[in-house]
Structure 1
Amino acid sequence: MLKTIMRMELKRYFRNPIYYIGAIVVALGVYNNVSPYLTIRYFNQDSEIPALAEYSEIDDADIMEGYIPASKEEQYAMGLEKIGQVMMDEYGFRPAEAKELTGKLEKSNLSFMEIAEYMESNYSFYGANTYFYESKMKQASAEEANHYIEASLKEHTYSNYFSRKYADYLGVYIIFYAILMFAFLFIRDSKRDIYELLHTKPLKAWQYIIGKLFGGMAAMGFVVGMITLLFDIIVMKNGKAAGFPVSFWDLWLAVILYILPNLLMVASVYTGIAVLFKNPLPAVPALVLYMIYSNMGSRLEDGSFGYRIRKLAILVRFPDVFFETRT
């Protein structure tokens, strides 16, 4: 009987045009976000790496633009240089005074937050620590960029790094898609034909609910599988063309670890709320709030504001630059 319910739910999904439209939107949305990572390659000369002037551009830059993470020492030096420039531009310091101040701070070995506190208390200079965070990426030479790529690929395959970015964006899109589609999963339950089915067939309530749950999961899993197969082919082709090591199974492993458990969580929450309220609609705002909770940033140990995995989250994000993502 469970198989019958699952087949019935799958047929309903496959007859619904929104199912296909949503799947296309998910695929295009993921591609729009991960396509820059498909352009990563070795550099032939320094002129291929543009000099980005604006912080917003540098902050979003990654290895495909020829930017690599700065070391702590480089980040410290660049941050102090920016602080010195601000002191001259906005606080009337002479170059010698600014150099003396930054030299003093450099010798003090204070942390970013401690420097911020010092500048705030002594000069009413607020947010000095942000200049260090703005210096986390640096423009590399072609040799430096290629060395960084080679060193990273010795640890993991190109497809392994890509799989985490893929899971990051697929997770966001597929959860929104699932929230929409699961509404159709339960919306007919209050109609007369379903009421008669439950009272005229040898079917227990738990069988019906579990059947619908796994039917919905199967429908979502089919979309995830098709999209993953498409991206796997693209990643294998691009990676081999760039001379990078790749593995067919990296994306699938990421889906198993980071996507399917979250989909099951969403389906379970949706089912519980729909059964509790006898209506699927209250689950929509509840799950949207759940997503916001899962994606909220927080203050990190170094004083910066960033993403931190939360308990029972339905999203797993990998916001770091491409070769710095970690499982």
Structure 2
Amino acid sequence: MPSMSRRPFLQFALGAATLPLASLGARAETMARPITMIVPFAAGGPTDVLARIVAEYMRNAVGHPVIIENVTGASGTVAGLRASRAAPDGTTITIGHWGTHCLNGAIYQLQYDVREFAPIALIASGPQLIIGRPDLPAKNLKELIAWLKTNGDKATAGTAGPGSGAHVAGVFFQQLTATDFSFVPYRGAGPALNDLMAGHIDIMFDQASNSLPQVKSGTVKSFAVTASSRLASAPDIPTVDEAGLPGLYIAYWHGIWAPKGTPADIVSVLSKAVMAALAEPAVRQRFAELGQEIPPPDKQGPAALRDHQTAEIEKWWPIVKSANIKAD
């Protein structure tokens, strides 16, 4: 990305940082160009959908479009490298999640540090669903675990690739249940879900936002949601605690970051813009429909995202490393 002076944005940031959000649009006229939000996955996927919803409403605060740039490849690490090398002037930000800004740091030999991005906001958290092919004999999670224990030599779980969230969740499930089954890697969650519906694989650990439509239509079977409370958009699916596997909490939380070195005043303005978007009723409704829970305002800001990311790294890196999960 060509280097640009951050002066125009900084002029905006210095003026806007002390103003109410209603005044941000006018001040944004001094910005040099629209903001680019790097999305580490293809258009139409769960992360891309969330990014576009937030970007649409961020423009109300900054007065310019927030342009989505899909940069795919290697479970989000290509986008991570691009974002890490962008000018720290507030004109480039990136959205990521549990996989890109936690797991990847333990799985890949990265040319950047997932912990060194400047946190802007924690925007949402959505659990996974434990799902199975529609004709799987098990009727509930306990029966699924029993079935896996007697069919481990042939049972298969689809993933979005080695080291993906679905893969790591499956390894965690194996550790908690003393089960053993084979992982089948795909190029993404979409193809894996298609094969699950067709009965070519047995189970998946998938983002609720991705598989809820199939669960509701009956083309896959659901066993539990990996959270301590039921989804408002799918209240009939039991939690792992209710289903007999307490503690299997896995959430695809999403956050927004800026490149390392982005000045604090610019981060503050961007954070306020994101939080303004999250307060919009239309955004909250859309996120709820996707099985995403927006944290309360005091848990959305830069410090909250940094603390959450740190806690997740402390939890998941030992699990990944003990299982020797590596990218192909």
Q: Whose radius of gyration is greater, 1 or 2? A: 1
Whose helix fraction is larger, Structure 1's or Structure 2's? Answer: 1
Whose strand fraction is larger, Structure 1's or Structure 2's? Answer: 2
